Amino acid sequence: MLTHTLGFPRIGRRRELKKALEAYWKAEITEQELLEMASAVRLQHWALQRDCGIDLLPVGDFSLYDHVLDMAVMLGAIPPRFASPDNDIDLTTYFKMARGDDGIAAMEMSKWFDTNYHYIVPEFRRGQSFNLSPNILLNQVRQAREMGIDAKPVVLGPLTLLKCGKNRDEEGDPMDHLSAVFSIYEKLISELSELSNWIQIDEPALVLDLSDQERSHFQRVYDRLLYAAPKAKIMLTTYFGSLHQNTHLAFASGFDSVHVDLVHAPDQLKQVLPLVGADQILSLGIINGRNVWRANLDAALVLIEQAVNALGADRVMLGTSCSLLHVPVDLESESELDPEIRSWLAFAKQKCLELKLLSRVFEGYDVREELSDNRAAIASRQQSSRVFNRGVQDRVSAINDDMYQRTSDCNVRRGQQSKRLRLPRFPTTTIGSFPQTSDIRKVRSARKRGKINQEEYTNEIKRFIRHCVDCQHDLGLDVFVHGEPERNDMVEYFGEKLSGTCLTNFGWVQSYGSRCVKPPIIFGDVYRLEPMTINWIQYGQSLTEKPLKGMLTGPVTILNWSFVRDDIPRSETCKQIALAIRDEVADLEKAGCRIIQVDEAALREGMPLRQSEVDAYMSWAISCFKLAACCIGDETQLHTHMCYSEFNDVLAWIAKMDADVISIEASRSGMEILSALESHELRNEIGPGVYDIHSPRVPTTDEISGLLKKALRVIPAERLWVNPDCGLKTRNWPEVRDSLKNMVAATHEMREWIAKKG
């Protein structure tokens, strides 16, 4: 019974790749040094999986920035603004595509299905040509073979690649390029088959609601593509959910193996087993690749035994539900974690060991001791007194309908807020955070290690807040923020403050490029111990007469950007978080805060992939936001922010949040959100992002003015705000000052332009 993983974390146990990337971008190391570090991390991860007993190792899952971008580059899908005359793509161009450059906008970024991983959106155009450049992948396969590794090349499938992409022509569908892309895939699969026994083709798009035409495309492509690999077996991998109506399609296409996700959709095994062909192997995604809890091995064995009884052990493979990209590398690094909670967890390395243990059961090994240890850990978590809190549960039970509602209609509130705030037309603001400098990180680290006391820490953080406020005065912004120097991350910070959660020291996962986050682990009932933000917000407000926003992360985002307990419904945990944030919102208003922003950056990404399940999720998600935020009076202005997801199809739900002002990412897509706003009568004030903070380039005043004029075609002038796409924590101060200076200048131009128009 072979074991395999669908992918492995890229960033390194101690974020070695992140540090090398950022050093390279600052010209502190050479390209060769970057590539050597990347190779070292990749080799370490291969060796780790091999030493854990994994039989087939993924090769090609590693990336210097993003695997979707890698696939587009491998196929030669290079936007014209980046292409050289000979269409040669070097590392400099590769990073320009991802991050942009002076005068060149980066490619769009979006969320990878329903995860917090951001991928670079492939761009296609009419008359697109494709050229195969497979050397990087082929060389990695050769390198793995030299190490004695049974390499399983990982290839993002054509259906998913095109479905994740966008046509940049006014008309056309990415699927129009399928025939041209298919011929390139044939060449790639043919070359890989000369080097590999197995090839993994990822088609997570098969868990989506596909049109009849898309299903027909899939059948047509793979009926032919399979013949391109006469010397290798091809595994079709699906993940993030059930195949549903695409089940027959996946198994009828003749793949040597089909991988199904039995973590998120265990019930699909019954539908799958009768469809497995006589010569096919069924790969079971039995270990969770997206959460950090130890697997219930007894429950996993029940599913495996069903498959073995139906097919025989030689026709069953065991794998992770999806790539392990979404979890940290190694639990062994967490020596300071509470021992009881630590015993409940499994990171990427431990998940590999769980896979091997499951396979050993069917290989005749005596693993009774290991299984007994697993049962003890599962029972410990189920029975622990720290998991359940009667007071929290009673408070959730006492929630009533009035707690979800503002007092008055948004139009009534707008009039009262206008009188109180007295803001100019096109108010300028930022999303919340300002640059997280090395000095700030050193201060936080010094406090954590006990090198400075609380008073010294407070004084240092106040100094940074004062600098942020002074900078906003100099720039001429209208609505201020305190800059969040005390916060390591918009979710991690609250995870440290809430009971029922814990933090790790090295539990990093990749969000995009070199950006990593350390998600809180929600292990029990959640509640607020004490105010979390009041003192910092009050201090910031004391430094200015301008309104300063109270900045909070919303309950849905905290939920979706954490490793969440799996023993109660996610909606129940979200209600608990919402009540904790509600307490903070109420305290901010009592402290005199005139504007409160409750960010829901992750609202869209938590949405189910199947349309039939969307309404149920959005209903409880929006309700939890309102539960957290709707305790304020009419004069207090409620903001929310959302970024880097496809929001067009959920605008009707966003309107139900009843926020007074919504800021939303828009610049990378060229204000694409406006077309959706035209068909929805949102009464909220809107701040479509006017420049991309994930790119180091500084936008010009003309660029920002152009986007604002574009926005005015849809958003009335009296309801248009001006702000960047997202928070500024990842940027440096010179970029921030120059960008915001141009943003404010463009806003003044717009005010004059509107005044002249009358």
Residue 170's identity, in one-letter code, is E
Q: Tell me the pLDDT band of 525, cut-offs 50, 70 and 90.
A: very high
Average pLDDT over residues 361-372: 95
- Written as one string, the DSSP assignment of 363-429 is TT---HHHHHHHHHHHHHHHH-TTT--HHHHHHHHT--GGGG--SS-HHHHHHHHHHHH-PPSS-B-
What distances in angstroms separate CA 52 from CA 49, 357, 650, one per listed residue? 5, 10, 43
Cα Rg of the chain, angstroms: 26
**Confidence grade of residue 87 (pLDDT, cut at 50, 70, 90):** low
Percent residues over pLDDT 90 in the chain: 86
Place of tokens 């915001």: 740
Beta-carbon neighbour count of residue 32 at 10 Å?
A: 8
pLDDT for 697 equals 86
- pLDDT class of 675 with cuts at 50, 70, 90: confident
* pLDDT value of position 170: 65
- Residue 501 CA to residue 599 CA, distance in Å, equals 20
pLDDT of 644: 58
pLDDT at 527: 98
Residue with the bigger pLDDT between 557 and 102: it is: 557
Kindly state the average pLDDT of the residues 564-586: 98
**pLDDT, the chain, mean:** 94
Q: Give me the mean pLDDT over the 717-742 stretch.
A: 94
- Give 597's pLDDT tier (boundaries 50, 70, 90): very high
Band the pLDDT of 671: cuts 50, 70, 90: confident
Residue 52 has pLDDT above 90, yes or no: yes
What is the rounded CA–CA span in Å between residue 124 and residue 531? 49
Q: Higher confidence at residue 611 or residue 677?
A: 611
pLDDT score of 487: 95
Type of residue numbered 195:
L
Q: Could you give the CA distance from residue 222 to residue 250 in angstroms, rounded to a whole number?
A: 10
- Residues in Cβ contact with 606 at an 8 Å cutoff, skipping those fewer than 6 apart: 114, 556, 559, 560, 617, 621
pLDDT at 140: 97
pLDDT grade, residue 651 (50/70/90)?
confident
Verify whether residue 694 is a known catalytic residue.
yes
* Average pLDDT score over residue span 47-61: 97
Tokens of 302: 């029940």
Strand ranges of the sheet holding 316-320, from the earlier edge strand across to the other edge? 3-4, 316-320, 281-287, 257-261, 233-237, 198-202, 151-156, 57-59
Residues of each domain in the chain carrying CATH 3.20.20.210: 3-383, 429-757
CB atoms within 10 A of CB 749: 16
pLDDT for residue 84: 74
**What's the CA gap between 64 and 646, in Å, rounded?**
25
pLDDT digits (tens, 9 = 90+) for 144-153: 999 999 999 9
What is the pLDDT averaged over residues 345-362? 98
> Under CATH, to which class is 3-383 assigned?
alpha beta
Q: What's the pLDDT at 534?
A: 96
Q: Are 303 and 268 in contact (CB under 8 A)?
A: no
Cβ-based neighbours of 285, under 8 Å, separated by 6 or more: 6, 239, 259, 260, 261, 262, 263, 319, 320, 321, 322
DSSP H stretches of helix in 516-643 = 534-542, 555-560, 570-590, 614-629
Is the pLDDT reported for residue 676 higher than 80?
Answer: no
Cα angle value 732/738/741 (rounded, 5°): 130
Q: Which of 67, 118, 639, 694 is catalytic?
A: 694
Residues 6 or more apart whose Cβ sits within 8 Å of residue 550:
533, 537, 585, 588, 593, 595, 596, 597
Instruction: Supply the pLDDT for residue 679.
Output: 67
**What would the pLDDT profile of 203-223 be if each residue is shown by its tens digit?**
999 999 999 999 999 988 888
Cα 140 to Cα 49, 59, 75, 146: the distances in Å are 16, 7, 17, 10
Instruction: Give the separation between CA 486 and CA 461, rounded to whole angstroms.
Output: 6
State mean pLDDT over 587-610.
94
H or E stretch covering 598: strand 595-599
Backbone angles phi, psi at 58, to 5 degrees: -70, 135
Q: How confident is the model at residue 667 (pLDDT cuts 50, 70, 90)?
A: confident
241-291 confidence digits (pLDDT tens): 999 999 999 999 899 999 999 999 999 999 999 999 999 999 999 999 999
429-757: which CATH topology? TIM Barrel (3.20.20)
